[in-house]
Amino acid sequence: MNIGKLTEYHSIEQIFQNNRVWVARQEKLDPNYFKDLAAGQAPPYLYIGCSDSRLPLTQFMQTDPGEIFVHRNIANQICLTDINFLSVLEYAIEHLQVRHIIVCGHYRCGGIQAALEGCSGGLVDSWVNPIRELYLQRQEEIDRLPDREARLNFLAELNVRVQVKNLFQTSIMRNALRDGRAPQVHGWVLDLLTGLIKDLAISTETWHYHPSCRLAY
């Protein structure tokens, strides 16, 4: 029995069918697979990405269950008042002690498009407003780019840089830095046209010492 596509009208039944096929396959490969999985998690990575259905990073990175702790939202934003994100970050750093944090954006992102072009007419406009502000700050430079795709790609990359910077402004990261146990932070962008992950090689050194924390260091 094969894993079936979920596009048919009976896709909910197909999900359970796929699940049973996959479980049987895993148990054949390793009879202890689920016993080991249930024993606990110690993922080395925290992944902060976009909600877009086309980019489950676990598949693009070929990782196994238990290897990546995940937070996703539209346009992979790090919002300093988002209790959902902050509790994920705190748990990842304080309890799971992840060694790497990956902030991964992507080209052809609907959230980036909404920020650049506006008017989704819904809550997304409010959620991506910080990215729209980013665009307005650099509008002259962005509008000069040769075409729409270049503008969207530029803003997608700029957004990742800013979100990485935001990460360094959380008290959770600042405390971890102070105690010398902060994970390594990476800013990536995924190109859906090629499937390849690009490392933006963001230098985070300058954000290790936040002006508002100067007294503490």
186 is catalytic: no
104 is in an annotated binding site: no
CB 150 within 8 A of CB 65: no
109 is catalytic: yes
109 is in an annotated binding site: yes
Q: Of 114, 115, 87, 92, nearest to 102 (Cα)?
A: 92
Q: Which is nearer to Co ion, 50 or 134 (CB)?
A: 50
List Cα–Cα distances, 111 to 70, 171, 176, in angstroms: 19, 27, 30
Please give the Cα distance from 212 to 139 (Å, whole number).
29
Task: Compute and round to an integer the Cα radius of gyration of the chain.
Answer: 20
Minimal distance, residue 101 CB to Co ion, in Å: 18
In the DSSP assignment, the letter for residue 4 is P
Catalytic residue among 10, 20, 25, 54: 54
Type of residue found at 104: C
Q: How far is CA 13 from the centre of its chain?
A: 30
54 is catalytic: yes
Q: Which is nearer to Co ion, 108 or 210 (CB)?
A: 108
Q: Which is nearer to Co ion, 198 or 208 (CB)?
A: 198
Size of the site for Co ion (CB under 5 A): 4
- Residue 89 tokens read as 């970050």
Catalytic residue among 71, 109, 174, 186: 109
List Cα–Cα distances, 106 to 120, 153, 154, 191, in angstroms: 19, 8, 11, 6
Minimal distance, residue 37 CB to Co ion, in Å: 29
104 is catalytic: no
186 is in an annotated binding site: no
Type of residue found at 20: R
Q: Which is nearer to Co ion, 29 or 123 (CB)?
A: 123
208 is in an annotated binding site: no
Type of residue found at 40: G
- Residue 3 tokens read as 């894993």
Minimal distance, residue 152 CB to Co ion, in Å: 11
Query: Is residue 157 part of the contact set for Co ion (CB under 5 A)?
Result: no
In the DSSP assignment, the letter for residue 92 is I
106 is catalytic: yes
Q: Which stretch binds Co ion (CB under 5 A): 104-112, 118-126, 184-192, 202-210?
A: 104-112
Q: How far is CA 120 from the centre of its chain?
A: 22
- Mask for 21-60, x = binds Co ion (CB under 5 A): -----------------------------x-x--------
User: Across the strands, what pairs with 113?
Assistant: none
**Residues of the binding site for Zn(2+):** 50, 52, 106, 109
> Active-site residue numbers?
50, 52, 54, 106, 109
Contact positions toward Co ion, by CB under 5 A?
50, 52, 109, 111
